[in-house]
């Protein structure tokens, strides 16, 4: 898809703020600093529409980006920051549950993981959480450029095994640095929107 228009529509903290124009939605989830903003920016050819390296402690919001008046990317606040307080973590959980449980226009979730490392306990929890809501999940194993070609298959296999990715779900090797996987990502996206 040639992206001609991409804009942030709202940073929402609660349901009543979500857009209500019924466009299909793709959510993006992942650990803080995993490369989620870079993934969005790479797909839509923008340097910095999605804020990279969002700091902990800032208001956690669901950021709705409208793409070509055709669909939304919804940037879900990152998880896995050790320093986040219990109260903040609870608030995050309530917001996530409210969103994933009720959002009818949500078509699929792209879960971003770092292909270099074994998925963390938080990653596993997030995958299970999404499957609990029967959502289709696309696992984007990013930072592929950081792994030598000869080792990539092994790393991808570990990602699949640790998350216990269901057979209907897709695992997509990706790099925001080189753009590997970008065409495939759009191919998958188009099936959902
Ligand atoms: P976010 O917190 O998940 O939104 O993560 P960011 O997109 O801000 O990325 C965190 C850091 O990882 C930044 O320094 C990015 O430049 C870097 N990064 C993200 N994706 C890639 C990638 O595919 N390859 C490499 N080499 N670095 C990446």
Domains of the chain, residue spans? 6-13+21-192
What pLDDT was estimated at residue 186?
97
Average pLDDT of the chain is 92
Q: Pick 139 or 14 by higher pLDDT.
A: 139
Ligand 1 pocket check for 36: Cβ under 6 Å: yes
pLDDT at res. 56: 54
DSSP 8-class letter at 44: T
DSSP secondary-structure letter at 187? Answer: H
For the record, the structure tokens of 190 come out as 């188009």
In this structure, the strands spanning 106-114 and 137-142 are parallel
CA distance 16 to 117: 37
Phi, psi of 146 (to 5 degrees): -85, 0
Residue 37 Cβ inside 6 Å of ligand 1? The answer reads yes
Instruction: Determine what percent of the chain is predicted with pLDDT higher than 90.
Output: 77
Q: Token pair of 76, please?
A: 């879900």
What residue has token string 């057979």? 167
Comparing C-alpha atoms, which of 113, 103, 162, 111 is closest to residue 138? 111
- Is any ligand 1 atom within 6 A of the Cβ of residue 176? yes
User: For a pLDDT cut of 70, what percent of the chain falls above it?
Assistant: 94
To test the pocket of ligand 1, the residue of 37, 49, 52 to mutate (highest count of ligand atoms within 8 Å of its CB) is 52
pLDDT tens-digit readout, 31-50: 988 999 999 999 998 877 77
SS3 assignment, position 62: strand
* pLDDT tens, residue by residue, 67-101: 999 999 999 988 877 677 888 888 888 999 999 99
- List pLDDT tens digits, range 48-66: 777 654 555 566 889 999 9
Euclidean distance between CA atoms 142 and 115, whole angstroms: 6
What atom of ligand 1 comes closest to residue 52's alpha carbon? Answer: 8
ipTM, 2 dp: 0.99
Q: Tell me, yes or no, if the pTM score tops 0.80.
A: yes
Please tell me the CATH superfamily of domain 6-13+21-192, with its number: P-loop containing nucleotide triphosphate hydrolases (3.40.50.300)
Distances from the Cα of 54 to the Cαs of 38, 60, 61, 69, 132, in angstroms? Answer: 12, 10, 11, 26, 27
CB 56 within 8 A of CB 83: yes
């Amino acid at each position: 898809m040639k992206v001609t228009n991409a804009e942030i529509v709202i940073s929402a903290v609660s349901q009543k703020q979500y857009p209500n124009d019924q466009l299909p939605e793709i959510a993006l989830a992942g650990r803080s600093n995993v490369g989620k903003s870079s993934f969005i920016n790479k797909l839509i050819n923008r340097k910095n529409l999605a804020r990279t390296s969002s700091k902990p402690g800032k208001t956690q919001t669901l950021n709705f980006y409208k793409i070509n008046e055709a669909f939304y990317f919804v940037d879900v606040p990152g998880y896995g920051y050790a320093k986040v307080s219990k109260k903040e973590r609870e608030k995050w959980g309530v917001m996530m549950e409210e969103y994933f449980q009720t959002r009818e226009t949500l078509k699929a979730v792209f879960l971003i993981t770092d292909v270099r490392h074994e998925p963390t306990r938080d990653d596993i929890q997030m995958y299970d959480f999404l499957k609990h809501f029967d959502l289709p999940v696309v696992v984007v194993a990013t930072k592929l450029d950081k792994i030598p070609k000869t080792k990539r298959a092994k790393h991808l296999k570990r990602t699949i095994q640790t998350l216990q990715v269901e057979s209907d779900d897709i695992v997509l090797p990706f790099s925001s640095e080189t753009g590997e996987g970008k065409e495939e990502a759009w191919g998958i996206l188009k099936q959902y929107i």
